[in-house]
């Protein structure tokens, strides 16, 4: 199990936060070390010589801006001066971020007991709440271009911590700036970050229907009598819950259904009920039948080419939740309120959908799965697989790595498990450094067909030594697997290796629990296989053909001078 090594830098005592992180009962495993408090600047100017995976830099606003400290004493201080000090602090953070994979910066908050200027506290040029908001905005603006710095919203922790957010005794007795409740929330968000940055955020919500998506039992009460919308608080609550689910699809989260119901009747309700917010097209897939729900979830997840660890299951029935939780421990089954009016707020409060980056592909994911459904419909009408592929008009576009696509490349590298030769995980900075080494080559693969654009879904990379090229990355999103894109990537490797005057390319397969599809492809690819070394080889005197169903567009090996 991967251990995430974390360095905590702060101007106050954060040992309690370190303890929450180190002794958490749930994954991921974090090993947190706190620097001595009050040493923020020297610590930031130091070097990451212990190879920490990420840094948390948590300061109080008065410690990074002496002028803000004076403003706290009601001295009249120019807000511009305070913002200038924020800029200086940001320069330090940016400088340090160059040697880090990731940095987390909690936003600045003020003790809730501090009233500042009371009703004038938001007044421009005077209020402390006013200037603190500006400081946080300035922090966000200054760090916006730093893709490895994430600002965590500490105000949310304050709001969630109730009365236990500040305790002066903690400060006087141990120089701890906050009550432990706030550290508990902070630790939760830091854990989420570790999961999310490794692509372990949830990508699919599977919901039940009766008393989950609408009120009542459809089979007993009929479409007209289910509780949904209308002048009914429960009906309105179900509409809001559906809206909250639909909102998730705008973030790239997929929706599915697992329900014990009559499929024809349920789909009729979904498509015909006038108050249904979610329509059939909003669901990437469904299993509506009388079979075991856990089995239905496994089938649905497999159909969508996802892993069970990507799934959240929502059901009003405690017994169904308990069954899925026990049978499929990888699936996240949140405790669900009995009160229907709490459904939407419970969903909106789940942190499992937090993601460190949102790419265009994420935003289009729901539409892509809808296209996939159409492809499957078409496939079933053709006898031969190759005939079907030809009708798809598949276009593969090869790109060199550049500043415009590196973020997506790294995201794909870090979250792809199945078609992944080595499953190496690197930060954007680490990958860029690797790619910049002489004789290292990286190409990205974009795939589209007549049903839609799947976006950047593949990566191939080569390390050239002498007259041989070693394939380091052979990564393809499961969304486009099985459409001869794998063979196309092998052809692209062949093509560029020839351009580089190589004699041979080879790939060393690194097995994981989940990358057997990659092994299976390599075995069937025509590459010669040495079982002892797990190496697959291709002699470049022999042509590796482009599949006939693919239209390929590739750039020249090097930029034209």
Partner 1 sequence: MEQHEKIISLIFRAIDEVNEFLPPESRLEKTSETVLSDKFAQGALDSLGMVNFIIALEQLIDQEMGVSLSLADDLIISEQHNPFQTVGILADNISVLFKNNKMVH
- Cβ distance to partner 1 smaller for residue 189 or 211: 189
- Cβ distance to partner 1 smaller for residue 171 or 434: 171
Q: Which residues, other chains included, contact 391 with Cβ-Cβ below 8 Å and sequence gap of 6+? A: 378, 382, 450
Query: What number of other Cβ atoms are within 10 A of residue 543's Cβ?
Result: 10
Q: Which stretch binds partner 1 (CB under 8 A): 9-17, 77-85, 206-214, 410-418?
A: 9-17
Residues 154-193 that bind partner 1 (CB under 8 A): 164, 167, 169-170, 173-174, 176, 180
- Taking the C-alpha atoms of residue 157 and residue 166, their distance in angstroms, rounded to an integer, is 11
The DSSP-derived string for 41-84 is HHHHHS--TT--SEEEEE--HHHH-HHHHHHHTT----HHHHHH
- CB of 444 closer than 8 Å to CB of 475: no
Q: How far is the CB of 7 from partner 1 (least distance, A)?
A: 19
User: What is the phi/psi pair of residue 233, to 5°?
Assistant: -55, -35
Which member of 7, 8, 10, 20 binds partner 1 (CB under 8 A)? 20
- Taking the C-alpha atoms of residue 35 and residue 312, their distance in angstroms, rounded to an integer, is 37
- Cβ distance to partner 1 smaller for residue 38 or 482: 38
- Asked if 148 is part of the footprint of partner 1 (rule: CB under 8 A), the reply reads no
- Cβ distance to partner 1 smaller for residue 180 or 416: 180
Q: How far is the CB of 173 from partner 1 (least distance, A)?
A: 5
Q: How far is the CB of 23 from partner 1 (least distance, A)?
A: 6
Residue in this structure with the two tokens 């200038």, named with its chain if needed: 84
Burial category of 119 from C-beta neighbours within 10 Å (exposed 0-12, middle 13-18, buried 19 and up): exposed
How many residues touch partner 1 under the rule CB under 8 A: the total is: 15
- Cβ distance to partner 1 smaller for residue 15 or 262: 15
Q: How far is the CB of 18 from partner 1 (least distance, A)?
A: 9
Q: How far is the CB of 160 from partner 1 (least distance, A)?
A: 17
- Cβ distance to partner 1 smaller for residue 44 or 177: 177
Which member of 6, 11, 16, 109 binds partner 1 (CB under 8 A)? 16
- Asked if 3 is part of the footprint of partner 1 (rule: CB under 8 A), the reply reads no
Residues 74-103 that bind partner 1 (CB under 8 A): none
Query: What number of other Cβ atoms are within 10 A of residue 397's Cβ?
Result: 16
- CB of 140 closer than 8 Å to CB of 151: yes
- Cβ distance to partner 1 smaller for residue 169 or 338: 169
Q: How far is the CB of 64 from partner 1 (least distance, A)?
A: 25
Which tokens go with 503?
Answer: 């004699």
- Cβ distance to partner 1 smaller for residue 17 or 394: 17
- Asked if 112 is part of the footprint of partner 1 (rule: CB under 8 A), the reply reads no
Give the three-class secondary structure for 85.
Answer: helix
- Cβ distance to partner 1 smaller for residue 180 or 422: 180
Q: How far is the CB of 180 from partner 1 (least distance, A)?
A: 7
Q: ∠ CA 409-413-418 to the nearest 5 degrees?
A: 135
Q: Which stretch binds partner 1 (CB under 8 A): 17-25, 281-289, 460-468, 535-543?
A: 17-25
Q: Which stretch binds partner 1 (CB under 8 A): 14-22, 107-115, 309-317, 430-438?
A: 14-22
Q: How far is the CB of 174 from partner 1 (least distance, A)?
A: 5
- Asked if 27 is part of the footprint of partner 1 (rule: CB under 8 A), the reply reads no
Binding-site string for partner 1 from residue 432 to residue 451, where x marks contact by CB under 8 A and - marks none: --------------------
Peptide bond into 372 cis (omega under 30): no
Binding-site string for partner 1 from residue 290 to residue 309, where x marks contact by CB under 8 A and - marks none: --------------------
The DSSP-derived string for 132-150 is HHHHHHHHHHHHTT-TTEE
- Taking the C-alpha atoms of residue 403 and residue 395, their distance in angstroms, rounded to an integer, is 23
- Taking the C-alpha atoms of residue 216 and residue 229, their distance in angstroms, rounded to an integer, is 13
- Asked if 19 is part of the footprint of partner 1 (rule: CB under 8 A), the reply reads yes
Which tokens go with 195?
Answer: 């999961």
Q: What is the 3-state secondary structure (H, E, C) of 366-415?
A: HHHHHHHHHHHHHHCCCCCHHHHHHHCCEEEEEEECCCCCHHHHHHHHHH
- Cβ distance to partner 1 smaller for residue 191 or 479: 191
Q: How far is the CB of 59 from partner 1 (least distance, A)?
A: 20
Q: Of 104, 100, 65, 57, give the one whose Cα is nearest residue 86.
A: 65
- CB of 412 closer than 8 Å to CB of 456: yes
- Asked if 23 is part of the footprint of partner 1 (rule: CB under 8 A), the reply reads yes
- Taking the C-alpha atoms of residue 496 and residue 436, their distance in angstroms, rounded to an integer, is 17
Residues that bind partner 1 (CB under 8 A): 13, 15-16, 19-20, 22-23, 164, 167, 169-170, 173-174, 176, 180
């Amino acid at each position: 199990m991967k251990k995430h090594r974390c360095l905590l830098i702060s101007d106050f005592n954060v040992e309690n936060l370190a303890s929450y992180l180190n002794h958490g009962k749930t994954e991921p495993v974090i090993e947190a070390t706190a620097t001595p408090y009050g040493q923020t600047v020297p610590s930031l100017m130091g070097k990451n010589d212990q190879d920490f995976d990420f840094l948390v830099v948590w300061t109080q606003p008065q410690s990074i801006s002496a002028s803000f400290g004076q403003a706290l004493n009601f001295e009249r201080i120019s807000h511009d001066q305070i913002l200038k000090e924020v800029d200086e602090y940001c320069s330090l953070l940016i400088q340090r971020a160059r040697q880090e994979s990731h940095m987390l910066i909690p936003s600045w908050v003020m003790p809730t007991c501090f009233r500042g200027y009371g009703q004038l506290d938001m007044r421009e040029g005077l209020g402390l709440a006013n200037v603190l908001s500006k400081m946080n905005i300035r922090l966000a603006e200054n760090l916006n271009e730093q893709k490895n710095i994430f600002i965590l919203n500490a105000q949310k922790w304050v709001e969630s911590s109730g009365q236990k957010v500040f305790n002066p005794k903690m400060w006087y007795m141990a120089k701890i700036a906050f009550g432990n409740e706030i550290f508990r929330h902070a630790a939760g968000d830091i854990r989420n970050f570790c999961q999310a940055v490794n692509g372990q955020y949830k990508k699919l919500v599977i919901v039940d229907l009766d008393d989950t998506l609408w009120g009542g039992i459809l089979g007993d009460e009929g479409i007209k009598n289910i509780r949904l919308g209308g002048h009914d608080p429960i009906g309105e609550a179900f509409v809001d819950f559906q809206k909250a689910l639909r909102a998730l699809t705008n973030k790239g989260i997929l929706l599915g259904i697992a329900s014990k119901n009559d499929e024809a009747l349920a789909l009729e309700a979904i498509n015909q009920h006038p108050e249904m917010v979610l329509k059939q097209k909003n669901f990437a897939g469904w299993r509506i039948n009388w079979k075991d729900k856990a089995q239905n979830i496994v089938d649905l997840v497999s159909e969508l080419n996802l892993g069970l660890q990507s799934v959240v299951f929502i059901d009003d029935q405690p017994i169904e939740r308990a069954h899925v939780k026990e049978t499929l421990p990888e699936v996240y089954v949140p405790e669900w309120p009995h009160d229907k009016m709490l459904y939407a707020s419970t969903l909106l409060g789940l942190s499992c959908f937090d993601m460190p980056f949102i790419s265009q592909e994420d935003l289009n994911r729901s539409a892509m799965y809808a296209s996939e459904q159409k492809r499957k419909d078409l496939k079933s009408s053709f006898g031969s697989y190759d005939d079907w592929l030809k009708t798809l008009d598949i276009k593969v576009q090869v790109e060199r790595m550049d500043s415009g696509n590196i973020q997506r490349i790294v995201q794909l590298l870090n979250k792809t498990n199945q078609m992944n030769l080595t499953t190496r995980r690197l930060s954007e900075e680490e990958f860029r450094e690797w790619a910049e080494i002489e004789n290292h080559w990286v190409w990205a693969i974009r795939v589209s067909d007549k049903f839609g654009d799947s976006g950047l879904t593949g990566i191939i990379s080569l390390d050239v030594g002498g007259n041989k090229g070693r394939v380091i990355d052979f990564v393809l999103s499961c969304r486009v697997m099985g459409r001869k894109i794998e063979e196309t990537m092998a052809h692209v490797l062949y093509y560029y290796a020839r351009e580089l005057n190589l004699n041979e390319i080879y790939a060393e397969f690194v097995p994981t629990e989940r990358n057997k599809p990659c092994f299976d492809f390599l075995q069937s690819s025509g590459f010669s296989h040495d079982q002892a070394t797990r190496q697959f080889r291709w002699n470049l005197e022999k042509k590796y053909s482009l599949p006939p169903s693919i239209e390929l567009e590739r750039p020249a090996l090097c930029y034209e001078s």
